[in-house]
Amino acid sequence: MASFSGTKINPTRFNKSQLKFYLILIPMALFIALPILFIISHAFKPENELFAYPPRFFVRVPTFQNFRDLVSIAADSGIPFSRYLFNSIIVTFIGVFLSVMFTSMAAYALSKLKFKGKKILFEINTIALMFVPIAVTIPRYLVIANTGLIDSYLVLILPLIAMPVGLFLVKQFIDQTPDELIESAKIDGASEMEIFLRIIVPIIAPAIATVGILSFALLWNDTSGSSLYVNDERMKTLAFYFSTLASRTGNTVAGQGIMAAASLITFVPNIVIFIFLQSRVMNTMAHSGIK
């Protein structure tokens, strides 16, 4: 499509007509990137720069001492840093897999299968969007204690794999899939599982990626599970260990460098996952299930 002046509305190569967009978007992108740059810079600041006045945004003499101190504090406690990291990796990846699997399968059932109580179940899921985790802490603890899940990896995974917002997004995505497509697959002899895996999953890949990002951030950054349901220090996660660094050092001021390094380590996996999957997230928000 061309405009009245004869130039394309959305040219494939750079055109001077795009300058007005760059003048707006580039300053906005730089402004949004400032917190990310600060987290990275802050983690490499020596102690004298951490408390410099006036504060410095960028580090002048970068050092890895903050990261070395972070590892040494864990070693002094008798539990290596690698143990906390291992726990977080196990919990996060198993939790993300289960969350994506259950969310997508439940969304397909609520969207395309016919059974009694379907609308009520979806309404319950919608109502669950209004509850913050702190509101269900006590009943959740009672259920976990009565089922004997205390001090296990399951107690760190199971409470977080149910994602009402993820189920809502995926169901709305599947709703856009034509029923005729599913009916034709059934006529060809495909089972419900084959339809789900071969037809639905490729279609909802962007929505699955979105759920994966949300689930990863929730599991990787969770500290409540380790603080409420785990007594064995060897079973606790990296996020919980980082949240207790100030008390472990015994000196809040001296521990600022360690906290800065911990913040960067916690932040990096989240931003990396989002960068690789951000195009999928945009598709979830802007497009239907079928193009």
Beta carbons within 10 angstroms of residue 204's beta carbon: 26
Closest CA to 37 of 45, 25, 47, 48: 45
Backbone angles phi, psi at 253, to 5 degrees: -70, -50
Among the residues of the chain, which ranges form H helices? 19-43, 47-50, 65-76, 81-112, 118-128, 137-146, 153-161, 164-175, 179-187, 192-195, 201-203, 205-220, 224-229, 238-243, 245-249, 256-286
pLDDT at residue 66, rounded to an integer: 86
| pLDDT value of residue 288 | 43
In sequence order, what are the beta bridge partners of 8?
2
pLDDT of residue 120: 92
Produce one character per residue of 130-143: b if its CB has 16 or more CB atoms within 10 Å, e if not. Answer: eeeeeeeeeebeee
Q: How far is CA 103 from the centre of its chain?
A: 15
List domains and CATH numbers for the chain: 65-286 (1.10.3720.10)
Give tens-digit pLDDT for 17-52. 778 888 888 899 889 889 889 999 988 988 888 888
Helix 164-175 vs helix 205-220: crossing angle, to nearest 10: 180
Cβ-based neighbour number of residue 116 at 10 Å: 7
Q: What is the pLDDT of residue 290?
A: 44
Pull the structure tokens for residue 79. 């539990």
Two tokens, residue 48? 């004298």
The two tokens of residue 234 are: 């060897």
| Residue 87, pLDDT score | 93
Distance of CA 51 to the CA centre of its chain: 32
Chain mean position to CA 97: 12
- Spans of the chain, pLDDT less than 50: 1-6, 288-291
pLDDT of residue 10: 61
Nearest-Å Rg of the Cα atoms of the chain is 24
